[in-house]
Chain A
Amino acid sequence: MSQNHNIYTKVWILDTDNLKQEVINGLNNGMVNVYDGVVYWAKQSGNKGIIQHLPFKEIAIDKTDDVMSLAKSIQGLEATTLGVVGLSTCIILGALIIQTQYLSSKIDKLQETIDTVSVDVHSQNIIYYMDKISSYFGAIESARIFLLDKSIKEEIKDIATSLLASIACKRNELFSFLDNILSVAHVVSPKHYELIVDFVHLVLDILPKAIYIEKELYARVDKINAAEFIFQESRAHYARLLNMYKSWCNQQYKDAINGKLPQSYATAFLQREEKVDNLFKSKENTLLLFSPNQNNT
């Protein structure tokens, strides 16, 4: 019994059997938006207001599984209409990220990398930004905790607004930093090169989860338009960053093959080849940045 208690945890997931037909149609043609478990008409639909509060049901999950396979297996249990598969998985995945320790453990891992970079890279500007990044992901973890309980919604409105303002500033700082950090990767020592590549990789892997949580908190405190605006802006910026990282990785790869990259850098990069590939193919991140009306934005 106690063993079950350790392994399993209960989470709320989407009950697709009880979705309204209007919601299903709206999801298929991009006429709705979903925030914090509520389906709203999208601007381009010509309608306004709420269509449905998404029906949820409680299930027990195995904490030891990774969230993507959990989301898939849960989604597989649902008799999901074809058109809502993407959203269904996205909502389940989002629920898992908010309700489990998944994000916390990723942030802990990132914090370890940040600490190592701060200690090893004796560059004042890098340390300054590392501090900002710690603070950004700390704020995201606070936002996640606020999202755990809907009943405190009214009480947290003021705090959440201030937290969201702080997250927005820190997010922009983080984006700027990521824009620039890769340009210094080749001028640092091989060890710092590895640290920087690992750091950028981890941040790019966690950012979609952070963007998702930020959007959900805006929606929780009834700032629906801001949620949509921030979400669309952030996912566009993230896509640009990811593309930039992809170009950089492709160039590093070619230089490593060509022998243009110094040996220790080349070995370090090639050893990370599979991990880098997994980031670009991450279904988890694609789903979290899924937008029902993304073709219209």
Chain B
Amino acid sequence: MENRTFNETQSLELITRMIQETRTHMERHAGVPFLVWGYVTVIVTLAVWFALTRTQNPTWNLLWFALPALGMLLTQLTDDRKSKTVVTFIDRIIRHTWLVLGCSAVLVSLLTLFSPLQLPILFIILLLMSIGTILTGAMIRFRLCIASGILGILLSTLCLWVSPLDSCLVFAAAFVVMQIIPGHILNYQSRKQCHV
């Protein structure tokens, strides 16, 4: 591109093209945050389920706190914000959406563990995460994410009907559908787009 002047039509075409290319720009490894939180959630949930099934000791519920700790640690380690060449408004909105939902999930967990309230915690957290998945899908225009988030909401209601132990399995399955599968597909698509 040169530093030349041009006519009005060319000028509008250039503006449209630049805005369009930036809007459709996708970072490599776009699905990594989904994969990090998806795998960590599934592994921790299955570990809690396994420990509770084997020992019947509710103290193992404290293992849930490994989830935000591990998730945040791995998110920090895989965070590519420092190497990102462009930061869009959507990036910021997505980050803030998940921050609000994540803090709400931690608050609900603390309320359940340290207060007499008996909240259906897995239902509430799954509902919050499904909402986050749908919103993210809508923002990045990724229909699979929206669909998997809707499925997550349906699965969250199942947590209200099955036993607390079985709801762990529903919770893990929902995260496979909502985060792991879309995360891998998103990574595949971003790799493909970055190679073009």
Decide whether A and B assemble into one complex: no
| A interface residue numbers (CB < 8 A to B) | none
